[in-house]
Copies of this chain bind each other. A is one copy, B any other.
Amino acid sequence: MRMFSPDARAAARALRPDADTVDVVVARAAWSVIAEPGDGAAGALIREVGAVEALLCALDRRSPEEASRRVRTATDLVGVDKARARWLPRADPRAVVQALESARHVKARLLLPGDAEWPASLDDLDVHAPVALWVRGRPALLAARRRVAIVGARASTPYGEHLAAELAGDLAQTGAVIVSGGAYGIDGAAHRAALRVDGPTVALLAGGVDRAYPAGHQRLLTEIAARGAVVSEVPCGAAPTKWRFLARNRLIAALGDATVVVEAGWRSGSLNTAGHAASLGRPLGAVPGPVTSAASAGCHRLLREYDARCVTTTQEVRELWGEAPVPGPAVDAPDPDRTRLLDALSSRSALPVQELARRSGLDEARIAALLGILDLEGAVRRTDGGWRRAAR
C-alpha cells in the first residue's frame, strides 16, 4: 500500500500549501479515513511516534523489528496489534487521495494539531482527541476566546426554540461563538439566531462537511459555512452513522467553554453531549421548562442527576464560565422590629407610643427610635394623638 504516493502528496500540498511537512498532512488525512472517531489506540500510537510513523507502523510497512521496538516501549499501546485488524480493511490509499481532493473541491481546510486555529481545549480528550478536523468556513472560530455549546432536542417546542434563539442571539451578539450540531430543533434555532445577529457560529457534523445532514438544513449549513464554520473529524463523503453522532457529541462538549442544554427528552442525544461536558469538567447548564413538557424532561434530569446549573437568562449562561453574577433585585432582609412597628401603625387613626408597644410587642424606647427613622423617611406622621402611617 502506498499511502504516501505522489498523488496523495500532490493532493495534500494542494489542500495545505502552507504545511511544513506534506507527509503529516497525508498521514493525518489517512488516519481520519482509517480510524473511527475517538479511536484510542490510534490516538495513543500517534502521540507516541507521530502521525506519519504511526501510520507506517499501523500498516506494517516498517520492519517488524523496528516497529515493535518503537511501539512496544509505550505501555498504553497494548491495543495496537488488535487495532491493526480493524484499520487494515480501510487502508485504501485511493480513499485518502479522494478525501483530500473532495475537501479541496468544497473549499474545506484540513486543520491539524499545531495549527494556530487548532482548539487547545480538544487536548482534554486525551487519546480520543480527533486526529484532524475538516473545516468549511472560518477555522479561526475554533480557537476564539469564548465558545458556548447550545444543544438540545430535535423534537423541540416553540418554547425551547424561543429560548435557544434568545440565548444564542444575545451571546453571539457579544462575540461568543455558538457551537452546536446543526440538527433540527434547538441546534438549528441556536445557529440561526447567531447568524441573525451576524454573530459567529460553528456546526459540528457527524458526517463529512460536504454532506448536508439533515438534508433539510442544506441551506442553513451552507450559510454557516459561508459566515461561520462547518466542522467534522470524518472526511468528505463519510456518512453520519449513529456511532459518529455519539462521537461528534464529545467534540461539541470539548469545544465549548460551557454547554447549555435547552430542551431534551428523557433519552435525548443532548444528554450524551451533556455527559461528555460533565466528565470533561466543563460547566454544564440546563434550561428548565414546564414539567408537563416531555421536551424538558431531559433538562430536569440534568438538574437532578448531573448537577447541571439551572440557567434561565443569558447572564446566567455567562456565569457558567465564571463571569461575575449581576445581582438580581435584592430581597429585603427587613428589620423585624420595623416590620412589626409598621404592622402596628394605622393609617386611619393616630396611636400613642404606649398603644404601639402593646400592638407590636416592642418596647417603647425601641419604638421611639424607629419612629424617628420612619419620620425622616416620610413613612409616618406625628399628630396630636400620636403617630399614624403616612399615606403612600
Contacts and interface: CB of A to CB of B under 8 A. Distances in A.
A296 B300 CA distance: 14
Nearest to A39: B361
A169 to B, nearest CB: 15
Interface residues of A, number: 59
Given A86-B366, A358-B90, A300 B329 contact: no
Contacts of A316: 304
Contact of A328 (B85, B266, B296): B266
B159 A329 contact: no
Interface in A300-347: 300-301, 303-304, 309-310, 312-313, 316, 328-329, 331-332, 336, 339-340, 342-344
Nearest to A38: B336
B290 A362 contact: no
Contacts of A342: 242
Interface string A159-197: 100110000000000000000000000000000000000
A267 interface: yes
Interface of A is mostly: helix
Contact of A243 (B90, B288, B343): B343
Contacts of A73: none
A36 B340 contact: yes
Residue among A162, A163, A312, A364 facing the most chain B CB atoms (10 A cut-off): A312
A89 B342 CA distance: 17
Nearest to A340: B243
Interface string A352-392: 00100110111111100000000000000000000000000
Given A90-B361, A246-B339, A288-B296, 14 more contacts: A85-B357, A85-B365, A86-B357, A86-B362, A89-B357, A89-B358, A90-B358, A241-B340, A241-B344, A267-B331, A288-B310, A291-B312, A303-B303, A304-B316
